[in-house]
Structure 1
């Protein structure tokens, strides 16, 4: 990216964002400002990102290296379930040169996320929350979509610019994707799940249940700092919504996608 352009872009962001930060009633963390700047860089430097794109083998090696820095123990039995549920979706991904690996990590955080190169991680808290393989397929499909659409590796490229490598795994696990990337991953993840024969209605049902329980459980402790990992369901769910921002738009789009999917499915014989 041209340095002169980047300088003026910085001034523009400062001029438009800082007044809003100064007048907002809620606390704004340094992490949120860094994430905003990361989104600006991502949108402004798409041509440069294409020129520096990693090969599939380089991306998979990067994901394997990042995985080694994770701070949580793994649950092999839980991972076996992820593999079983994800297996029917693998033939339907676009990037056939990526080998996916699935991990369940033991932490009270309620989350699922994708590392570059097909490393998919689901926390045991999330695994315990889903009520069926159909719901789990929607979770896995969404994260696989972030890899298939190159969101995960693009996320790495820009998070890497914001700080030292030693902090990178934590940032990748806790910083959100952009709103557009989330919507795209919702659609692509649903496509993968449906192509594998899973129930499309599981996606909006799971999303609505997470939203409902998050808001109900978190309401009494709304002043809890966002970075604090608590053991209550509300704070556990908050860790998911920090990296997968909830919105009425996402909920509406999911319902529309399911309706469109059902409209194109062949009618079942009585």
Structure 2
């Protein structure tokens, strides 16, 4: 029967894929995408972005991003699969930065206008790079693959038992909403908090003040004070909880920051 075959395949995939973990936190992950394939996708995506976005030629902005980025990359402390580190400044008012598998990092000039120091920039870049080192993207893809597989099993089961179309559609809609609110969004918020934690470790290890992260997010919170999505519907923790967590974490990374800073003086 198709349902039994699909369930068996899902069980095998989970058994073979569920042995991965985040090195810095020890959290176990479901990963169904190879690190090599993930890096290839990241490299291809970055090339597309560079063709679509305007690349900044501002010498000061590029020097700052290169300076901070190279130090953060050095603080990761382990090799990334197929890593070809590249740091690019994009000329846009977006207050944003991102990192992709393969060591590709983009920073928008809008963000550089908001950061007050290399320390603040390092905390942002550390956060984005932590998403990559923790393989959060591959984990999200894997979770969606699993959710789609379970959805297919459910649909086949309802077809097999001749469930009425209206009931079938209602069940599938409830399943989709339940997975989103009950699993995917909470995992997204977990990824953000984990990237904050690991990002501070990277920033401090590169000789940048981890206390700058909370200062930066306070500015971001003030900038976005017009309204917010309820936390349970959001991909990110609330500004308040994020800032409180960063302030709580910073002291434990101060010794690493002090030691690393001496190397760059």
Indicate the TM-score class for this superposition, using the shorter chain for normalisation: 0.5 to 0.7
Cα 1:67–1:201, aligned 2, differ >3 Å: closer, same or farther? Answer: same
Tell me the residue number matched to 2:66: 83
SS of the equivalent of 2:48 reads coil
Conserved in 1, the CA contact under 8 Å of 2:189 and 2:235?
no
* 1:128-177 deviation line (CA, Å, top 9, x unaligned): 11111110111111111111111134345667999xxxxxxxxxxxx987
Report the structure number with the largest CA radius of gyration: 2
Two-structure CA RMSD over aligned residues (Å): 3.7
1:64 matched to 2:43:
yes
Distance in 1 between the 2:257 and 2:100 partners?
Answer: 32
Conserved in 1, the CA contact under 8 Å of 2:207 and 2:257?
no
* 1:21-43 deviation line (CA, Å, top 9, x unaligned): xxxxxxxxxxxxxxxxxxxxx9x
Tell me the residue number matched to 1:131: 116
Q: Give how far 1:90 is off.
A: 2.0
Within 5 A, what are the aligned runs for 1:1-270? 3-4=6-7, 46=18, 49-55=30-36, 58-70=37-49, 71-77=52-58, 78-97=61-80, 98-155=83-140, 178-215=188-225, 218=226, 244-262=236-254
Gaps of 5+ in 2: 20-28, 148-183, 260-265
Distance in 1 between the 2:258 and 2:73 partners?
Answer: 23
SS of the equivalent of 1:120 reads strand
Q: Give how far 1:261 is off.
A: 2.7
Which 10-residue stretch deviates more, 190-199 or 80-89? 80-89
Tell me the residue number matched to 2:153: none
Distance in 2 between the 1:124 and 1:160 partners?
Answer: 35
SS of the equivalent of 2:224 reads helix
Distance in 2 between the 1:144 and 1:90 partners?
Answer: 8
Q: Give how far 1:92 is off.
A: 2.1
Conserved in 2, the CA contact under 8 Å of 1:76 and 1:103?
no
Distance in 1 between the 2:63 and 2:42 partners?
Answer: 20
TM-score scaled by structure 1? Answer: 0.60
Q: Give how far 1:91 is off.
A: 2.2
